[in-house]
């Protein structure tokens, strides 16, 4: 069957259309993206403003039309941290439903972490052993650990690259004191969770997903996306630590010229790098591998699992 996943994230609204059936890997058929940066559109009271809601409704409507055009049989729409944590989330969801007919399921942070973990486990298989999975989104950082398909521990922290950039790094380039303050904040937040994971022992394999990690790996010398999904890509902490001081003095325009860094995400790269560096340092990770599957694939896989058990 042809499935569509509509992901209303903190940075983008992304429709992924796949051809899938139980027991087989989902094959991508079509992708539609629109950058809204909802995590940066919250007002002082934490609500998504009228203009942001207008853009969201319009984008969901466009995505719905694209899904129809591509023959999607079953649409799985969900929203993550930006909508989840908005003060007016119920109003936003009600308006999307009323004007588009789309009922967005709001995933909790723990659900995001678990579904991403499922996708990573299916990608690498059982031979990967105990997995530690890191995922930096626009609004949150998800961390999950386990040896099965359901992680033993899964947490979500408000350390998304878009959220932190908007709240902590107003300059272009940011002021050194703002960078230091953000670095302290990031490491304090991550350090609070380390004990919850360390009691399970060292992982056999550390994996990262998300655009942020892919960009950091790319500027560190990893293969281009054009070389395909199955090329191994990794990020070494030594490489990241050498890049972070260079990123701190670069403008958004200069960051956008780095290999693999898109203009729309360039302004968030430094905050994402600080989160990645903090996580790798505090969890004692020297290198990690980039997984091409993440939350959207996890949602698809869970749907296929339910089809089998039904």
Cα separation of 193 and 233, whole Å? 27
The pLDDT, as a whole number, for residue 309 is 67
The answer to whether the CB of 120 falls within 8 A of the CB of 131 is yes
Angle at 273 between CA 78 and CA 138, to 5 degrees: 20
Cα separation of 26 and 21, whole Å? 7
For the CA atoms of 144, 201, 123, 138, the dihedral, rounded to the nearest 10 degrees, stands at 30
- As a whole number of Å, the CA-based R_g of the chain is 19
The pLDDT, as a whole number, for residue 252 is 97
Distant-in-sequence, close-in-space partners of 3: CB < 8 Å, separation ≥ 6: 17, 18, 19, 20, 26, 72, 73, 74, 75, 76, 300, 303
The answer to whether the CB of 299 falls within 8 A of the CB of 2 is no
Q: Pick the closest to residue 273 from 304, 237, 300, 298 (CA basis).
A: 237
CA distance readout (Å), 250 to 56, 242, 255, 257, 266:
31, 14, 6, 10, 10
The pLDDT, as a whole number, for residue 24 is 83
The pLDDT, as a whole number, for residue 71 is 97
Q: How many CB atoms lie within 10 A of CB 136?
A: 28
Cα separation of 99 and 101, whole Å? 6
Q: Spell out, as residue ranges, where the chain has pLDDT lower than 50.
A: none
For 217, the token pair is: 């790996």
Cα of first residue to Cα of last residue in the chain, in angstroms, is 16
Angle at 293 between CA 291 and CA 297, to 5 degrees: 165
For 161, the token pair is: 């690259």
The answer to whether the CB of 164 falls within 8 A of the CB of 11 is no
Cα separation of 133 and 294, whole Å? 10
Cα separation of 151 and 171, whole Å? 39
């Amino acid at each position: 069957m042809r499935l569509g996943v509509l992901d209303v994230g903190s940075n983008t609204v992304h429709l992924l259309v796949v051809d899938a059936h139980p027991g087989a890997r989902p094959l991508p058929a079509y992708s539609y993206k629109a950058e809204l940066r909802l995590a940066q559109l919250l007002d002082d009271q934490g609500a998504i403003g009228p203009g942001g809601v207008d853009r969201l409704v319009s984008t969901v409507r466009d995505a719905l039309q694209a899904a129809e055009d591509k023959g999607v049989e079953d649409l799985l729409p969900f929203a993550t941290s930006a909508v989840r944590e908005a003060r007016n989330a119920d109003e936003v969801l009600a308006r999307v439903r009323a004007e588009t007919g789309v009922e967005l399921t709001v995933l909790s942070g723990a659900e995001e972490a678990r579904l991403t973990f499922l996708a990573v486990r299916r990608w690498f298989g059982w031979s990967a052993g105990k997995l530690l999975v890191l995922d930096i989104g626009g609004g949150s950082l998800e961390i999950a650990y386990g040896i099965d398909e359901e992680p033993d521990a899964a947490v979500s922290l408000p350390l998304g690259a878009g959220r932190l950039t908007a709240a902590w790094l107003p300059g272009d380039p940011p002021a050194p004191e703002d960078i230091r303050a953000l670095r302290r904040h990031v490491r304090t937040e991550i350090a609070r969770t380390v004990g919850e994971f360390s009691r399970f022992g060292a992982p056999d394999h550390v994996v990262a997903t998300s655009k942020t990690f892919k960009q950091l790996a790319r500027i560190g010398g990893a293969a281009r996306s054009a070389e395909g999904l199955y090329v191994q890509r990794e990020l070494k902490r030594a490489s990241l630590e050498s890049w972070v001081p260079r990123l701190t003095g670069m403008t958004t325009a200069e960051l956008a010229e780095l290999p693999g860094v898109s203009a729309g995400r360039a302004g968030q790269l430094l905050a994402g790098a600080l989160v990645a560096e903090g996580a790798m340092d505090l969890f004692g990770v020297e290198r990690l591998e980039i997984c091409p599957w993440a939350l959207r694939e996890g949602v698809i896989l869970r749907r296929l699992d339910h089809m089998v058990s039904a």
